[in-house]
Each structure stands twice: as C-alpha cells, then as structure tokens.
Structure 1
Amino acid sequence: MIKSLSLFVLGALVAGLVTGSALFAYGGPAALRAAEVVEALGALWLNALRMTIVPLVFSLLVTGVASAADAAATGRLAARAFALFAIMLVIGALFGLFAMSGLIALWPVDPQGAAAMTAAVEGQSTVQVPPGFAAWLPTLAPSNPIRAAAEDAILQIVVFGLIFGFALTRLPQAQRGLLTQVFRALAETMIVIVRWVLLAAPVGVFALALGIGLRAGLGAAGVLAQYVVMVTGVTAAIALLPYGLILLTRRSRFADFIRATAPVQALAFSTQSSLACLPVMLEKAQDDLRVPPRVAGVVLPLAVAIFRLSSPVANLAVAVFVAHLYGLSPSFAQFAAAVAVAFVISIGTVGLPGQASFFASIAPICVALGVPVEILAVLLAVEVIPDIFRTVGNVTADMAVTVVLEDEAPEPATALG
C-alpha cells in the first residue's frame, strides 16, 4: 500500500511539473486561471497535513519518553542499550548537520530553481529572523503552552512535552498507565488522520508541483534531483558508523558482521521496514554472530522500538537543505535547538508510516531552524528514494549495537537445592 502510494505520489510530482511547464510555455489566460484553482486545492491539502503536527508531536513525545523510561528501568542490559542508542543518535544528528552543510558549500543549489520552488508554496509561513542567544534562551520554556501550540512554537512544545513526559514517569503506575494510554490514543488518532490526508497525496502533490512548473518550467526538476542525491548520500554515509563501532569494539568479528548483516540489509532495501527485518536480524545475530539469545531477544526488539540511527541524520539534512532553498542562515542557537529536536523526535516517531514520519519528524526541526515547512509537501514525493537508505542504516545499527552488548547477557537463574 505504502509503496504503491509512493509511486503514485512520485508520478503526480512529474505530471504536475510537466503540466505546469506546458501551461507556463503555452497556456492562455483561461488555463492559468484554472491552474490557480488547482494550486488552491494543493494549499488545502497542505493545511490538512499541517493541522496534525502539534498534537502528533506532543503525544509522541510524551509516550516516547514514557516508553524509554520503562525500557531503561527493565534492567542493566536495557539501560546500557538505551545509553548506547542515545550516544549514537547524538553523533548521527551532528553528522547530518555538518555533512549536509558541507555538501551545500561544495555544491550550492541553483538560486533560480530554489526561488521558483519556494515561490510556488510561499504565503503559508513567515520566515523567521534568527534571534540572539540572550533573546532565544528565555523562549525555551513556554509561559503558555496553549499559546505556544497555537503559534506553532515547536521547540517550546518539545520542551514542554519532554518535561510533561518525565513528570508522567514519576506518577503511580495506575495514573501513569492511564495518561500514557490517553496520549497513545491521541497519537494513533492523528496517525489515522495523516493516513487519510496521505491518500489524497497524489492530488495534493500534483497541485503543488503544478505551481512550481508554472513558475520555473522544468528547472525545478534539477533542484529536486540534487536534493535526492545529497540527502541520500548523507543518509547512506551514516551506515558506516556501525561498521566503525564494530571495528573499535569487536575487531575480530568484523568479517562475520559484514556477512551476517548483508542479508538483513537486502531485506531492508526491499521492504523499507525495520520491523519486517526483525525476524531475520534475530536469526543472523544468534546463528551467525553467536550473540546469546538472552541479549538478542532484548536488544533487537528494543532497538526496533525506540532506535533509528538514520532518522536524525536524514531529518537534519532535509531541514538544512530547506534552509538553503530559502537563503536562510540559522543562528548557532537555532542549530542547537534543531539537533535537540531531531534527537527527541527520532525516538518519539519510531513506528510511524514512512510518509507520515517524514512530515511529523522534519517539520518540527524546520520550525526550530526558523524555516517554512510548506516545501516539505513537495519533497515528500521523492522521499521514497532516501527512505530506502534510512532503513538500511537503521538495521545495520541495530545489528551493531546487539553485537557490542553481547557481553551484557545476564546469567541464567540456577535452582537452589
């Protein structure tokens, strides 16, 4: 279903660009007026997608913090796994930020193509001026969380969601379970709405792409191709980190790790689902890498549930590219906020459908950078390509942390005579 929808969306993007380019070159006044109606339809679809961001992000943060706290409290192995996950996610977030910034410096985006793309979807957001650190610091804590939600102050929502989530873990089990179920139900409800909106993605993307074609012809296609190459390259490169981790900690197992991980990566490439790869990961970890079942049975399901190494890498790469499209230079404080948001969002959005997680994961990072989010609806159409490498990187990291933590196997209980 998701794969076929992705192909339809990609086809709609191409059709919209071609149709818009034809109208740009040959269309008369009547055709241009009709195109304006189609563009308005695209704006409606985009707003329907945007309306889910705040409740989805907040509810995912609360349930993500609660789940992570429960996992860390289940024992030494789970706690060590969560600590390793956190370290690798921070490294990944910083890598995504610096790698994409470096690539853009070496390969700048064509200004005319960028201007045409952003002009096609502008008018919904206001580009924010980066504040100084002294002005930015007090805004971390929302004086009014309701107002912060109404104003799409994502960073404040993230901070409040984290505080709320950690406070929730201090409640008695009955109250904690009740509230967690409420927010989990809220998140699932938002996901249902997102899925409904995404069913109309071919129409919405066609309408937005039509506007781009009207303003830029086919020139925007080069910008989209550059985006795919750059984001895919940065996302694929982070897959080297798990290999480095194995070389550093389990050098004698490096060749075995390569052989055991290759079939898992092939499955990830074809399915684009870490969860679908879990049975094969368990088999390869236990049979080929000789990881004790007690370790593999804890670490791998936990990794699939709350750990996606490629998420902050790819999400920050996309957000930095979008900032460059708009000609923005975020401040250091905004970059720091974006890294923090990318870290917590990567945990909270695990398990979402690929297209739903694209918008829910990257929009908060863009807002933290002071970057408009409307262009994400167009980039969604080509996400199917980078998403393949997201999944490959994720399963490679899952296998690596399992091997690294194999010494943490608890001793089996012995019967007392």
Structure 2
Amino acid sequence: MTSEKAEEAPAAASRGSRPYLVLVALFIGLVGGTFAQAGGDGIREPLIQVATYVGGLWLDALKMTVIPLIVALLVTGIAKGAEAARAGRIAGRSILWFVIVCTSSAIFGAVMMALLVRWFPLPQGAGEALQAGLAAIDQSTSSPPIPSVADFFRGIIPSNVIAAASNGDVLPLVVFTVFFALAVARIAPQRRKTVVEFFDGIADALLIVIGWVLWIAPLGVFALGFALGASAGGAAFAGLAHYIVLVSVIGVLVTLWGYPIAIVGGSVPAGLFTKSMIAPQSVAISTRSSLASLPAMLGAAKVQGVREQVADVTLPMAVALFRATGPAMNVAVAFYVASWLGYQPSLGAAIAATGVASVISYGAVSLPGEVSFISSIAPIAMALGVPIAPLALLVAVEMVPDIFRTLGNVTLDSAVTAVVNKNLGSVSTEN
C-alpha cells in the first residue's frame, strides 16, 4: 500500500542506530556548549550564533510540516474511525471506549504534570539557566497575552480557517478539521473514498519529508544542544533528566490505570490479567512497537477468556487507532515545556491544549515514535501558547519515555478489549 511505503522514510529515520546517533549528538552538543562557556564571550557568542543558525534551519524544517500534517492525519484518522464504527457492534463499542479513554488520558496528563512540576520542581537556579538557554535557541519565548474566557470561546470557531492555519491557531483549526472529517464520513462511499485517499496522499508525502528531516536530526540536535549548553551549562543535563523522569512517571501511571479497567470493567481476575500480560509487555519494552506486540496480545486475550471474535476485531483496531498513553504523555510534555520556560498558562489555554491532545491522538496512528512525537505534541504546545523549539531537543531523549508509551498502550489495548468483551454480554457479536 502507498501509506506503508510512505512510512518507510520516517521509520528508517527512527529505527536502528539513528535514535542513538541523535542522543549522542545531543550529549556531545551539550558538553561542547558547556565547555564553550569557559572560553569567554569572544569565543562563545560566535559559536552560539552559528549553532543557533544551523539548528534554527532544522527546526524550521520540522515546523513547516506540522499544520498540513495535522489536517491530513486528522481527516484520515477520524473518517476511517467513523467508518469502522459503523462496521458492526464490536467495532462501534470499541471506538466508543477508545474515545472515552483518550479523553480521560488527556485530562489526567494535564492535571498530573501540573502537580508533578509543583511537587518536584527543578532547582530555581537550574530553571532560570534553562530559560536563558532556551531563549537563545528560540526568540519567541515571551509569554503570550492571556485571553479572557469570552475571547477564548469566541476563538474556538474560526471565521477564516486559512488564516487560522497561517497564524498557527491550532484549536480552531482542529475544530474545523474534526467537523470536516465527520462530514466526510457521511458523504457517499465513492466520494468519501476519493477525499480520504487525497488526504492519505498528502500525509504520505509529508511523512517522507519528515523522514528526510529526521535523517539530518543528529546535525540539527547537535547544533541546538550546543547553543543550549553554551547558555545554560550543566543545568541542561539536569533539565533533561528531570523531564525524562516526570514524563516517564506519567506513562507508568497510565499503564497502571489499565489494571483496574481490566479487573473491574472487564471482570478479568487480577492475577490472571497480570500474568497473561507479561508476554505482550515484554515485547512492548523490547521493540517499542504495539504492532509487534499484537500476536502476544491476541494470545493474552485468549488466556483472559476474551471471545475470539471480539479480540480479532478490537485488538487490531486498538493497534491502528488507539494510543492510550499518547494524550496523557503528549499534553504532559507541553505542560512540562511551559514550566521550563516559566509560563503560567491560562485556564482557557490549558483546556485548549487538553482538547487538542485528546483529538490529535487519532491522527498519530501507526507512526514511529519520533515522528508522532513531533506531529502530536507540536499542535498541543501551540494551543498551550509555548514555543515548539524545545521539542526538537526532547525528541533526542524520546526513546526512554517511548518505552513507557508502548508499555501503556499495549496494557490499555488489552484492558479495553476485555471491557468490550464484557459489555457485549451474551448478545451476538457478529460484526
């Protein structure tokens, strides 16, 4: 299929040694920048200017794909999901639970990260140094004006969707795209297929572009890391370690959330669910791939007593459409970046970011971790009103939180499948 070929470029940039090269480039850049501090402004400032210029070009290359990719992936993801929901009772019930869990996940991630950065803050000196260092990378670090509640709700519906896209107003753009995608799902089948294939083609082309951009990620991340290290010094290492721990904690908590869902909602005995999930969770940790974990999840579902016709429909749909940890961890990253920069998002911005995190997860399906990191979190950060430049650095350490992303996704996939199996009861499960 065309979409499968289109994913080869970003997937190639995200597998094998490439993520490790990006991580090494970040480390070398931060160390080099830290040592450059000792050379005085005569040496440090010219090097920062060069590094910022090179890193800025790479960052702009990432930014240029965000808006069109949001639209293309949302249209295809929602339209296909709506079509799948009409295919039968099992599929429809599965989609309903996917929406419920993703929405709850986004709210949980926003609230929990706000609490974690308050309970376990960076030392004040490290935070101030990071703010100065990030300002050297991206000049758009000034806090945006806080809109009134009336202005916030008035801005949800775009009067000009083209202007919203041009200005980076993500929430009204997402609202329009969701309505458009739902409308596409209701038009005649042949026309619906034509529209979805059109946006599929756009997404395929953009994924190839992102693959090219990620291929030179070591250079871009090295340059941005050098600029940050030269400005923030050792605080950069403290900030990254702090980030990895807090975001990973969110992933662990979402994973644990799957157990009561399966035990209470799916009536699977605690010991049975825990034991049966060892195999798929082991595959998830070792591969960072929900798709690779699917055979083990099907085996676990059989052990849990899930009917074969339910597992054969819900689990493949979950792998394709459902990212339980995505909304929580993605919005958590955006809120963490806000704390890095000393931002205090308004209630309206927080609601917007949480809503975008929930909806945008439907478009991040079947993408490599580093690709979905940029395509999913950038619009959330934009809705929250924070720059996306830090994401270009955080993508270098994404391989660590991504383990917990996949672990949680696999656990929730199986848990929701058990719930769907129970809810259907003894009613015919013909799809």
TM-score range, shorter chain: over 0.9
Map 1:339-378 onto structure 2 (within 5 A): 339-378=354-393
Q: Distance in 1 between matches of 2:270 and 2:315?
A: 19
Does 2:229 align with 1:213? yes
| 4+ aligned runs moved over 6 Å, structure 1 | none
Does 2:98 align with 1:114? no
Q: Is the 8 A contact 1:127 1:372 kept in 2?
A: no
Partner of 1:135: 151
Partner of 1:88: 101
Compute the TM-score of the two structures, normalised by the length of structure 2: 0.92
Does 2:210 align with 1:197? no
Q: Secondary structure of 2:277's partner?
A: helix
TM-fit CA distance, 1:211: 0.3
Question: Residues 269-315 of structure 1: CA distance to partner in whole angstroms, max 9, x if unpaired?
Answer: 010010111111112212x2232211110000011111111000100
Aligned AA (1:103): L
Q: Is the 8 A contact 1:125 1:373 kept in 2?
A: no
Does 2:182 align with 1:169? no
Q: Is the 8 A contact 1:121 1:374 kept in 2?
A: yes
Partner of 1:318: 333
Partner of 1:58: 71
Q: Distance in 2 between matches of 1:252 and 1:387?
A: 27
Question: Residues 218-250 of structure 1: CA distance to partner in whole angstroms, max 9, x if unpaired?
Answer: 221101100110000111111111101122134
TM-fit CA distance, 1:375: 1.0
Partner of 2:4: none
TM-fit CA distance, 1:116: 3.1
Unaligned runs of 5+ in 1: none
Range moving further from structure 2, 54-63 or 81-90: 81-90
Question: Residues 176-223 of structure 1: CA distance to partner in whole angstroms, max 9, x if unpaired?
Answer: 100000001101111111111001111000000000111122221101
Q: Distance in 2 between matches of 1:302 and 1:131?
A: 39
Partner of 2:52: 39
Does 2:191 align with 1:180? no
Q: Is the 8 A contact 1:130 1:370 kept in 2?
A: no
TM-fit CA distance, 1:359: 0.9
Partner of 2:397: 382
Does 2:88 align with 1:75? yes
Q: Is the 8 A contact 2:322 2:365 kept in 1?
A: yes
TM-fit CA distance, 1:412: 7.7
Compute the TM-score of the two structures, normalised by the length of structure 1: 0.95
Q: Is the 8 A contact 1:125 1:374 kept in 2?
A: no
Aligned AA (2:401): P
TM-fit CA distance, 1:400: 0.8
CA RMSD for the aligned pairs?
1.7
Does 2:256 align with 1:240? yes
TM-fit CA distance, 1:143: 1.2
Identity of aligned residues (%): 40
Q: Distance in 1 between matches of 2:134 and 2:145?
A: 17
TM-fit CA distance, 1:19: 0.5
Q: Find 1:230's aligned residue among 246, 252, 272.
A: 246
Q: Secondary structure of 1:259's partner?
A: helix
Aligned AA (1:225): A
Question: Residues 31-70 of structure 1: CA distance to partner in whole angstroms, max 9, x if unpaired?
Answer: 6424422321110000000000000001111111101101
Question: Residues 77-109 of structure 1: CA distance to partner in whole angstroms, max 9, x if unpaired?
Answer: 111111111111121111111111111111122
Aligned AA (1:15): I
Flag the 1:28–1:412 CA change in 2: closer, same or farther, 3 A.
Answer: closer
Partner of 1:296: 311
Q: Distance in 2 between matches of 1:406 and 1:46?
A: 45
Aligned AA (1:52): T
Partner of 1:157: 173
Q: Secondary structure of 1:140's partner?
A: coil
Q: Secondary structure of 1:351's partner?
A: coil
Range moving further from structure 2, 10-19 or 402-411: 402-411
Aligned AA (1:85): F
Q: Secondary structure of 1:109's partner?
A: coil
Q: Is the 8 A contact 2:130 2:232 kept in 1?
A: no
Does 2:15 align with 1:15? no
* Count, aligned residues: 412
Flag the 1:89–1:412 CA change in 2: closer, same or farther, 3 A.
Answer: closer
TM-fit CA distance, 1:382: 0.9
Q: Distance in 1 between matches of 2:139 and 2:387?
A: 10
Partner of 2:346: 331
Partner of 1:24: 37
Q: Is the 8 A contact 1:307 1:350 kept in 2?
A: yes
TM-fit CA distance, 1:126: 5.4
Q: Is the 8 A contact 1:19 1:213 kept in 2?
A: yes
Q: Secondary structure of 1:170's partner?
A: coil
TM-fit CA distance, 1:362: 0.6
Q: Is the 8 A contact 2:289 2:406 kept in 1?
A: yes
Q: Find 2:276's aligned residue among 251, 260, 266.
A: 260
Does 2:111 align with 1:104? no
Unaligned runs of 5+ in 2: 1-11
